[in-house]
């Protein structure tokens, strides 16, 4: 059963979400503040997080910036496009404006959970591209692709949630410390990665989303 964490201090909204999602066979956990949520995440990793922005104490934006490798759907009354873009830069996988349609919410939840890898060391597959986190090997049509450590880390991040747009700041935040990758060199690493993948296929596997970042290129 997939685990979903709801971070919202509004008891009414939280109860509504819990009832809706529980009826659809999701295991639900609740936190009512950003501080409580971060303490919870130190002990358990849910498959998905639903995050409200208007939280007591630590803001939802501050919480989002600290969440790593877990898809987050932001639920907010803020409808301005600039707010949405900023949250995508911070790492949100999706954004829904309150009040929301429950059917749309269930669909968006299902999409995010469908993009979850089946296991921590399970191979990631996108079209004819395969990445094995256990052996650190990448193949296209069963042909090995030689990547640098940084290129591998970027590809793994993008393949983990192929429909999610990762901003430059998100990529640097999640891989930069371990891979000596800086903002000035990130574009070069991604360019080299795309070139190496193209050598084995005419397929474009990675696309740039103008003004936001990068994602896997879907048909």
For residue range 144-187, list pLDDT tens digits in order.
999 998 999 999 999 988 888 888 888 888 776 566 678 778 88
Domain identity same for 103 and 133: no
pLDDT above 50: residue 41: yes
DSSP assignment, residue 119? S
Domain identity same for 101 and 128: no
pLDDT above 90: residue 20: yes
pLDDT above 50: residue 106: yes
Count other C-beta atoms under 10 Å from residue 62's C-beta: 15
Q: Are 34 and 63 in contact (CB under 8 A)?
A: yes
Q: Are 189 and 154 in contact (CB under 8 A)?
A: yes
Domain identity same for 129 and 104: no
Domain identity same for 78 and 170: no
Question: Average pLDDT in the 52-64 region?
Answer: 91
What is the pLDDT at residue 51?
96
Query: Is 56 inside a domain boundary?
Result: yes
What is the pLDDT at residue 120?
47
| Cis before 99? omega within 30 | yes
Range of the domain at 164: 124-216
Q: How far, in Å, CA of 17 to CA of 102, rounded?
A: 9
Tens-digit pLDDT profile for residues 118-154: 444 567 889 889 998 777 889 998 889 999 989 999 9
Q: How far, in Å, CA of 127 to CA of 217, rounded?
A: 10
Domain identity same for 134 and 105: no
DSSP assignment, residue 122? P
**Number of compact structural domains in the chain:** 2
pLDDT above 50: residue 117: no
Domain identity same for 94 and 140: no
pLDDT above 70: residue 200: yes
Mapping DSSP to helix (H, G, I), strand (E, B) and coil, where does residue 46 land? coil
Burial label, 55 (beta-carbon count in 10 A; 0-12, 13-18, 19+): buried
DSSP assignment, residue 92? -
Domain identity same for 110 and 128: no
């Amino acid at each position: 059963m997939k685990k979903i964490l709801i971070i919202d201090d509004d008891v009414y909204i939280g109860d509504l979400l819990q009832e809706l999602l529980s009826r659809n066979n999701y295991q639900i956990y609740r936190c009512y503040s950003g501080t409580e949520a971060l303490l919870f995440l130190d002990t358990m990793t849910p498959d998905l997080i639903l995050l409200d922005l208007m939280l007591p104490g630590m803001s939802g934006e501050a919480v989002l910036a600290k969440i790593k490798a877990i898809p987050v759907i932001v639920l907010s009354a803020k409808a301005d496009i600039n707010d949405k873009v900023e949250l995508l830069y911070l790492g949100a996988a999706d954004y829904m404006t309150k009040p929301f349609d429950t059917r749309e919410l269930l669909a968006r939840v299902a999409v995010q959970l469908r993009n979850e890898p089946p296991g921590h060391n399970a191979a990631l597959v996108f079209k004819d591209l395969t990445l094995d986190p256990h052996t650190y090997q990448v193949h296209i049509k069963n042909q090995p692709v030689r990547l640098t450590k940084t290129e591998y880390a970027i590809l793994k991040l993008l393949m983990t949630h192929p429909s999610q747009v990762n901003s430059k700041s998100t990529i640097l935040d999640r891989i930069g410390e371990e891979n000596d990758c800086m903002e000035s060199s990130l574009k070069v690493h991604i360019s080299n990665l795309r070139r190496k993948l193209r050598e084995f296929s005419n397929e474009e596997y990675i696309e740039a989303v103008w003004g936001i970042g990068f994602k896997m290129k879907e048909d």
